[in-house]
Structure 1
Amino acid sequence: MEQQLDRRFPGREPRGSHHGAELLQSWDAVSAHWAAACRTPDELPAGTQDLSVDGEWSFAQTLRHLVMATDTWLRGCIFGEEHPYHPIGVPNHEYALDGYDKSVFSESNPDFARVLQVRAERQQQVRDFLLVQDAQSLQAARRHPWDAEHSAMLSVGAALRVLLDEEYEHLCYAVWDLKSLAVRGEGQRRQGQPADENPGPE
């Protein structure tokens, strides 16, 4: 399965590397895959980016979740910012259940152009950071962002590898969902029905 995904998404394999250059290579690759995926909704019926498949996040919500993921692992964990989160972010479903304040994500319905803009800014922040990393800096210790006791530690490199895993995992599902929506839209067009405009849950 892993080898199949590596073939499907060239550049995925080095995501677990302990070398900065290889992590940068994998980041550039996943960013290119996402850029291609972000062009797909333009080829589908209007509003496709806001549609859900089987109750999962829409494409736009997935990008917003990755904004949140970058804020968690880069801005919060690595940079140590006290308030790392952008208001358009979408947290995972356990965020509020674990006692975290969901009100920081106050922009519940940003337009897609804004989502793409913020997402691009976060991607560039990661790339700029990776450009200046070496073996020593990747080994620097940081507090784990999800440890309530603030005692668990991980390295900068480990935090970046978690972020890369998030990027590739969500890419796989997002590409699959876009293909499903394209098939659904084609079937509706053949039957003379309007495309489904039911967005996924926030």
Structure 2
Amino acid sequence: MAEFGEEDLSGSTFDWTDLSGSTFRAASLSNVTIRGTDLHHVRMSGVELWDVDITGEIQGLRINGVDVTDYVEQEVLRREPELARMRPDDPAGFREAWDLVERRWDGTVERARGLDPELLHEQVDGEWSFVETLRHLSFATAAWVSRAIEGDPAPWHPLDLPWDEAPEGRGFPRDRSVRPSLDEVLEIRRARQADVRRVVESLTEEMLATEHTPPDDESWPPARPFSVKDCLSIVLNEEWWHRTYAERDLAVLETRST
């Protein structure tokens, strides 16, 4: 256990570092970026929390003794009523949700085609570029449909892109240096979308509850049981939010193009 007192660690990077159980007293965490990090059971008191932007899965968030989780959830649903359709419970609901996802993404891709192709490789505020976003969704579908549901041990395409904090040595591609064209990644994307469409079109109530275990722990997801419903729900969640972020960033790129 390390102890730091009155030391300047500003600008430090902590990758795959276990800080669980740590205590921060009179510490400056200003201008900190936290990505892909577990913040379970965190307690903060006497803090100054100004101009904070939190994006992610939020449960049990209390501010000054008030649980604001439900308020945040309801406000998100008020702004995007169709988000509720991304949480289906039956086969028909999954088919309707996937129809909606595909229609919305068609519009987003057409919007992206209106930009200079070079802008589709640009990042906004350190987030993925548009092309990288599509590459990641290809990875997510391969992981949760081809591998978790259908049992393919290595369904990856060389252009698939895992999340930034993915562990090394898991056998999947993660090349951030390549710059494929939009049409190149869309060709892979359409094949992945067809995989999802094939699964949802054949869904039954029994299939939704069926559990599958990926072949091994050497890749992603790990070898533990996942229901078909859970796997497809993860895909829907990835599709919805990454399109939301893509639309947000396309608006910024459009201002740059003008």
Task: Using structure 1 for the length normalisation, give the TM-score.
Answer: 0.81
- Deviation at residue 184 of structure 1 after TM alignment: 2.6
**Residue in structure 1 matched with residue 221 of structure 2 by the alignment:** 146
Q: Which residue of 1 aligns with 2:248?
A: 176
User: Cα deviations across residues 161-200 of structure 1 (Å, max 9, x unaligned)?
Assistant: 01100101101100000001112322xxxxxxxxxxxxxx
What corresponds to 2:95 in structure 1? Answer: 24
Q: Secondary structure at the match of 1:94?
A: coil
Structure 1 residues 42-51 or 154-163, which shifts more?
Answer: 42-51
State the shift of 1:113 in Å.
0.9
> Runs of at least 4 residues of structure 1 off by over 6 A?
none
Q: For 1:28-69, what per-residue CA distance to the aligned partner results, in whole angstroms no more than 9, with x for missing partners?
A: 101111111101122223422111101211001100100000
Instruction: Verify: 1:111 aligned to 2:181, yes or no.
Output: yes
Aligned to 2:159: 88
Aligned to 1:195: none
Equivalent pair of 2:101/2:240 in contact (CA under 8 Å): yes
Tell me whether 1:60 sits opposite 2:110 in the alignment: no
SS in 2 for 1:28: helix
The secondary structure found in structure 2 opposite 1:12 is: helix
* Distance (whole Å) between structure 1 residues aligned to residue 177 and residue 249 of structure 2: 24
The higher radius of gyration belongs to 2
CA 1:116/1:8 → structure 2, altered by over 3 Å: closer, same or farther?
A: farther
Q: TM-score, normalised by structure 2?
A: 0.64
Q: For the structure 1 residues 84 and 41, does the alpha-carbon distance in structure 2 shift closer, same or farther, using more than 3 Å as the test?
A: same
Aligned equivalent of 1:129: 199
CA contact (8 A) 1:87 1:107 kept: no
Q: Secondary structure at the match of 1:96?
A: coil
Q: How big is the alpha-carbon RMSD for the aligned residues of Structure 1 and Structure 2?
A: 2.2
- One-letter code aligned to 2:100: A
Q: Which amino acid aligns with 2:247?
A: V
Equivalence for 2:229: 157
Q: Contact 2:98–2:197 at 8 Å: present in 1 too?
A: yes
Contact 2:162 2:173 in 1 (8 A): no
Amino acid at match of 2:254: A
More helix per residue = 1
Match of 1:167 in 2: 239
Q: Give the unaligned 5+ runs of structure 1.
A: 187-202
* Structure 2 runs not aligned, ≥5 long: 1-71, 215-219
